[in-house]
Structure 1
Amino acid sequence: MSSSLDSSLGRRFWQLWGSSTISNLADGMYRVSLPLIALHYTRSPTLIALVTVLATLPWLLLALHAGAIADRLDRRRIMVSANGLRLAALATFATSVALGIDSLWLLLVLALIVGTGEVFFDGTAQSILPMLVERDQLGRANGRLFAARETMESFAGQALGGVLVAVTVVAAVATPAALYGVSALILLLLAGHYRPHRGPATTLRSDIAAGIAYLWRHRVLRTLAVMTGVMNLGSSAFMAVFVLYAVGPESAMGLPEYAYGWLLMGTAAGSVLGALVTERLQAWLGRAQLLAATVVVSALAKALPAATANLLLVAAGFISFGVGLMMWNVVAVSLRQRIIPAELLGRVNSCYRLVAWGTLPLGALLGGLLAELLGLRGLFLASAASSLALLVCFATLTERALTAAEQDSPSSTQP
């Protein structure tokens, strides 16, 4: 892509890109750091999983409200406030560690607050983008944002987070705090007002209800949302306790803390590979068959650690999972953008996320409980089985159904 095309996106877009990229780096660091820090307090699968439960619980509790609020208030200010909240929470925990008054319970509170900030920042970032670039630039702008997110969150962030925890917990917490502060500062320098224009006054409840009603009535989108939610349920259960399987001399894999983030980078590497081949595979297989293939790949990747603790094989499983994850996202998200009417996009997206991502805390809690009951390998197999069960959905989620849903929608393409 030439520099002239990049510059055509405008200065304001690149300010958003810079803020989001720095925030994504911090996201990757704290996501890998929190379960590693929790190991300093406990080896209980339930308590380890509880960290992920609280970090993702805001998606279940606040996704609908975040989407509706983003359609009412200045979106730049929402994002600045969200990262300010995360900065304050992380700085407070870092101070408690430095003073020796930290505890698992403080870590749990931290996870909840940081997760809340994530819901409002990430959800609003998608809504503010159409206010910064022209409609025909949205695809290219989203490509820049998604590429930066994968690079910073899944590669650099996870690698750095694991290393910093191995060095000192204070550094592992204070570094993302500083990054959130820089991200907020960049947004403060973003000129303009970003409160959306609205028609007649409506209540927050009616706004949310309109989004829910649209998603519920749309069979294809409803099915995709439920399927994504079930897959995320299994993935969250898997990842909530996988650290116990991978890290420490008493674990099956016996990895040191710093290597844990590197192992998780396999998913990011697979995602990059998936992004490169999705278009070609979609043209060859069709969207419905490609989605079905990603379900099978996801199940096999989750089942693999139940059969072996070999580092190379488990890493290969993470890579294949990343390939499938990216394929699913490219197909499902693009379809959603083409179907949903522009005036409902924010609210329907928030409803979709509630179904798709609201299962994350439930999955993490379930993962801890099943690990106590079935053991880690039993949990991995149960997670894989939950993905395979989704194959029954493709009796109705056919290529013909996907095409018909697009043709029947008055929406123009928009993220």
Structure 2
Amino acid sequence: MNMPLTHAAADKPKPLWRNRQFLYLWIGTCFSGLTFHIYTLGLPLMIYDLSHSTLAMSSMAVMNMLPYVLFGMLVGVIVDRFDRKRLMLGAVGLQIAILMLLFAFLSSGVKEVWVLYLLGFWLTTFGYVFQNSYNSIIPLLMEREQFVSANATINFLNTMINAIGPTVAGAMLLMMNYRYGLLITVAGFTMLFLFTSLMRLPQVERPKPADGRKTTIREEIREGWQQLLLTRELFTITLLVLGVNFVTTFAGAVIVFYALDVLKLETGSLGMVLSASALGSLCSTFLAKPSMKWGRRGKLLVGSVLVASIGQAVLFFSAHWLMLAGGLFILGAALTFSNIHTHTIRQEVTPNHLLGRVAGTTSMLAKVSAPIGLLLGGLSGEYVEPHYIFLTASLLFLMLALVAMKNKLLEIA
């Protein structure tokens, strides 16, 4: 059931944790996020059992990235054009169907790896439809001053799930075959479907063309690009996101190699060191709302990039696992802090009927920059010492901050 789009009658918005619509979404994604790790951990095992090929396993990572590149802008148009709640329910329903189909294929003894590629590709595609819709409805569920708190809460949830999810999934897969683990993932997505169905969303007023005709998909994609390119705040932070993603993946390509080959860490110690980044992310979610009193968001974004530069410098000087963990902690905090404020600015300055297209376009661009960074970082690691890659990343972050200041990012309120 839809409600008319109205402002809250009370002067003070209700606390986030008393917002029933937000809680439905939050609880549902808790169930699906935790159980999805059983699928993501079991998927490499499935591919290994079918192929015993490292190429086949790495190719699956590419298949999971392709939907963002191929359909980023199209999904944005779809999210802006249709009812977002129905899209979310349809996307989750199709994900459940794909997981059940995958369970049926594995149970019947199918041994073709391409089946996993195909089903995994569409599972990621419909997951992206849900995620884009999810980000677009957040501004509809609360007042503008609650956007930072909501994005901080969502990032906190995602970080917690990514921190404990693999451990829970690993314990579950020790007790059962990954094939039956898929059924637990299905149960988690079923809970997401149920909680999403309970939500009541406001209607979104979409302006109609002056001539009264129905716009084409190409025209709507162009409208999203125009909104991104002509809105100074959106264009500036999008360039910053592209640069940050590139530098982060460029340095991230050699972190595990550096820890194992240079610092000689054991596998168990490696997991503990890498978890420092998640801990930093958690800490930054508590700083997001208080940081609004520190100054303009543009200054906060530039500050987070400068802190990330410091984090990479710590990695450059790290000769002990404690320094490596410290550098990763700083990086995790800085990048999550930047992510929270970037999402908030995008939600505030973008008309809601265009938010899906703008988010889809920026996601596509971000996913394109990440593999380029990974490729260049991996290739550089073949010819230079890994710690010099960290130094390069530190300097690149510093350059990004300087360029952002020159492009008046500091003026963004």
TM-score by length of 2: 0.75
Deviation at 1:216, TM superposition (A): 1.1
**Mean alpha-carbon deviation: is it higher for 394-403 or for 117-126?**
394-403
Distance across 2 between alignment mates of 1:91 and 1:14: 27
- Count of residues in correspondence between the two structures: 393
1:16 pairs, out of 4, 18, 25, with: 25
1:253: which partner in 2?
A: 265
Distance across 2 between alignment mates of 1:95 and 1:368: 38
2:6: which partner in 1?
A: none
2:412 counterpart SS class? helix
Q: Say if 2:358 is the partner of 1:345.
A: no
Deviation at 1:352, TM superposition (A): 2.7
Change (3 A) 1:52 1:317: farther
**Mean alpha-carbon deviation: is it higher for 204-213 or for 273-282?**
273-282
2:223: which partner in 1?
A: 210
2:81 counterpart SS class? coil
1:396 pairs, out of 391, 396, 406, with: 406
Change (3 A) 1:194 1:239: farther
Q: For 1:270-317, what per-residue CA distance to the aligned partner results, in whole angstroms no more than 9, with x for missing partners? A: 122113334555645754444333224334545666665854433333
**Mean alpha-carbon deviation: is it higher for 389-398 or for 135-144?**
135-144
Distance across 1 between alignment mates of 2:398 and 2:45: 30
**Mean alpha-carbon deviation: is it higher for 65-74 or for 287-296?**
287-296
Deviation at 1:71, TM superposition (A): 1.6
**Mean alpha-carbon deviation: is it higher for 365-374 or for 288-297?**
365-374
2:238: which partner in 1?
A: 225
Structure 2: which 5+ residue stretches go unaligned?
Answer: 1-13, 209-213
Change (3 A) 1:276 1:162: same
Q: For 1:237-270, what per-residue CA distance to the aligned partner results, in whole angstroms no more than 9, with x for missing partners? A: 55567566668x99953315xx766554433321
1:322 counterpart SS class? helix
Report the residue type matching 2:135 in the other structure.
Q
Deviation at 1:69, TM superposition (A): 0.5
Equivalent pair of 1:263/1:315 in contact (CA under 8 Å): yes
> Where does 1:105-116 land on structure 2 (aligned, <5 Å)?
108-109=117-118, 111-116=120-125
Deviation at 1:62, TM superposition (A): 1.6
Distance across 2 between alignment mates of 1:361 and 1:123: 21
Equivalent pair of 2:277/2:332 in contact (CA under 8 Å): yes
Q: Say if 2:247 is the partner of 1:234.
A: yes
Distance across 1 between alignment mates of 2:45 and 2:264: 16
Distance across 2 between alignment mates of 1:379 and 1:48: 26
> Which structure has the larger Rg over C-alpha atoms?
2
Distance across 2 between alignment mates of 1:93 and 1:243: 32
Distance across 2 between alignment mates of 1:89 and 1:13: 27
Q: For 1:129-183, what per-residue CA distance to the aligned partner results, in whole angstroms no more than 9, with x for missing partners? A: 455556676666555544433333x332243345556776546655434422332
Distance across 1 between alignment mates of 2:138 and 2:206: 17
Report the residue type matching 2:222 in the other structure.
A
**Mean alpha-carbon deviation: is it higher for 197-206 or for 169-178?**
169-178
1:266: which partner in 2?
A: 276
Structure 1: which 5+ residue stretches go unaligned?
Answer: 404-415
Change (3 A) 1:361 1:30: farther
> Where does 1:162-201 land on structure 2 (aligned, <5 Å)?
162-163=170-171, 169-170=178-179, 175-187=184-196, 189-190=197-198, 196-200=204-208, 201=214
2:85 pairs, out of 60, 76, 89, with: 76
Distance across 2 between alignment mates of 1:198 and 1:399: 30
Q: Say if 2:167 is the partner of 1:159.
A: yes
Change (3 A) 1:263 1:29: farther
1:413: which partner in 2?
A: none
